[in-house]
């Protein structure tokens, strides 16, 4: 599954993105601070 997570650089959005990755999904992470999404 491919998942799009917005607000993925901190807080709830980051936790959601990490959980999907841990479960083997491909994640597209987006946020207004795009440089932070490279983590």
What are the residue ranges spanned by the domains of the chain?
2-38
Q: Dig out the tokens for 6 from the structure.
A: 């917005």
pLDDT for res 5? 95
Question: Largest alpha-carbon pair distance within the chain?
Answer: 25
Q: What is the mean pLDDT of residues 1-28?
A: 94
More confident residue, 34 or 25: 25
pLDDT band for position 13 (cuts 50, 70, 90): very high
pLDDT over 80 (residue 37): no
Q: What is the mean pLDDT of residues 6-11?
A: 88
pLDDT over 80 (residue 22): yes
pLDDT for res 3? 97
């Amino acid at each position: 599954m491919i998942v799009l997570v917005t607000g993925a650089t901190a807080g709830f959005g980051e936790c959601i993105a990490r959980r999907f990755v841990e479960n083997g999904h491909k994640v597209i992470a987006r946020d207004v601070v795009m440089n932070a999404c490279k983590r």
